[in-house]
Amino acid sequence: MPPAAPPHTGGLLLLIDGTAGLLTVAALGIALLLFLIIKVRLQPFVALLAVSIAVGLAAGLSVTELFGTVQKSAAVSVIETGMGGILGHVAIIIGLGTMLGAILEVSGGAEVLSSRLLGLFGEKRAPLAMGLTGLIFGIPVFFDVGIFVLAPIVYAAAKRSGKSIVLYAMPLLAGLSMTHAFLPPHPGPVAAAGLLDVSLGWVILMGIVVGIPAVIAAWVYASWIGKRLFVPVPEDMLEAAEDAKAAVAAERKSTATEAPVSLGTVLSIIGTPLVLILAATFSSIALDESTVRSVIEFFGNPFVALTIALVLAYLLLGVRRGWSRKSLESVSTQSLKPVGNILLVVGAGGVFGAVLKASGVAQALSDTFNDVGLPVIVLAYLISLVLRVAQGSATVAIVTTAGIVLPLVEGGGHSQAFLALVIMAISAGSIFASHVNDGGFWIVSKYFGISERDTLKSWTVLESVLSVAGFAVAAALSLAV
């Protein structure tokens, strides 16, 4: 079956003809991407961009179609369309979410959350308290930041009990990983939502519905392995954590008169954008067009909801507790520094998807996958899983898979709920079997003093349990929506 898009006669490298040729280009493009990232160690943004250009030219797109003209005519190039289309949706959400997480982090919100939960659950259920801490605090902060901030609490709990640090670290990591994979404002689900044009409200809803059973399954495994794998608290990391804590306190110029952070304040700030976005989603379903619905949808727009939450954090955790405007600005600005790399990778993923669509490769892939007969949600999971295991980056796996899956769902009349579940499947595949090619593997190993072999037994299997359980729930729900 020939692709829907006609062949491009102006391409620089018109090497193919028909569906078989387009599929060959797609396969070679993905192989080249993996080679550049794994063997050449090329930065993923550069690798994605280079492969996008190569695939576009090989599939018959002309130089003008890819890059536009020097005179910048009214026509917009494929690269500009792909980059701008996704970043216009993602950049604001990730930026606001990052600043929100930074204020919560520096203000001591994580310590308040963990200490209250530890007090509530008691010493015997401390691992569960650590898991809930990771689950809640992981919503607004990046995975690695969550580890850096919460690791000292894990050290203290394990030191006090004399038990394996694995027993306390793994539930925490499961909570952080679940939110990072399945919930906005984290880059993966936000990027996939932008590429597949899915409301963030549906992504949040399905992220909660899919993620909670998955993280419970991961906690069960964490409890099992934590009792069978003894790893002592790394004393050097414990000392370093104390020094870092003292340095942060000095930098913040904390005083005895600074108002303490309340648990209710932390939960309210974290929950505000989630509630507003979900309210807007449900109002579009339950209410007819009206002023009330318009108001709810305005405040539930992700840009507005996250801005409100950030302003609340500024006021309640900053201004009310004596922070200067300069301190607030400094914390916010510093938090945005790591975001640049993420946004570039996401943008390059958008370019890859746009090139696949414009060249006809995406349609050829769609036709082929439809002939295979597997449900799209299964294909989405498997493609993401293979890309994740091969090259290690969850973000690269998600944005690449979303570009490949887009033609499978585009124009299919699928509901927002179903598309959100497809995103959950992609996200689940992107965290499968974290191993030595994943930076998260080494952060976990080094920060908690776990050997590489024991990290494979604990962290790698934990991520696989979380992945498989999340996909199983998503696939089951897809049959009913």
Chain mean pLDDT for the chain: 87
Give 255's contacts (C-beta < 8 A, 6+ positions apart). 322
64 vs 11, 26, 61, 158, 230, CA distance in Å? 9, 21, 8, 60, 60
Token pair, residue 343, equals: 């946004």
**Binning pLDDT at 50, 70 and 90, where does residue 9 land?**
very low
Give 407's contacts (C-beta < 8 A, 6+ positions apart). 356, 357, 362, 363, 365, 366
Q: What is the pLDDT of residue 15?
A: 47
Q: What is the maximum span of the chain, computed from C-alpha positions, in angstroms?
A: 73
3-state secondary structure of 194: helix
The full set of domain ranges for the chain reads: 80-481
Q: What is the pLDDT of residue 256?
A: 41
pLDDT at 96 > cutoff 80? yes
Cis peptide bond upstream of 185, omega within 30? yes
Tell me the mean pLDDT in the region 37-56: 91
If one compares 124 and 1, the residue with the highest pLDDT of the two is: 124
CA distance linking residue 467 with residue 429, whole number of Å: 6
Q: What is the pLDDT of residue 70?
A: 58
Residue with tokens 């620089």: 12
Alpha helices, DSSP H only, in 165-321?
165-182, 187-196, 200-226, 235-252, 263-286, 291-300, 302-313
Amino acid at 320: R
Note the pLDDT tens digit of each residue in 332-386.
998 888 888 889 999 998 898 888 888 888 788 777 877 778 899 999 999 999 9
Q: What is the pLDDT of residue 361?
A: 84
pTM of the model: 0.87
Tell me the mean pLDDT in the region 45-54: 93
Note the pLDDT tens digit of each residue in 245-286.
555 555 555 444 456 788 899 999 999 999 999 999 999 888
Residue with tokens 């400094």: 330
Query: For the ranges 147-156, 180-189, 225-234, which has the lowest average pLDDT?
Result: 147-156
Token pair, residue 87, equals: 């970043």
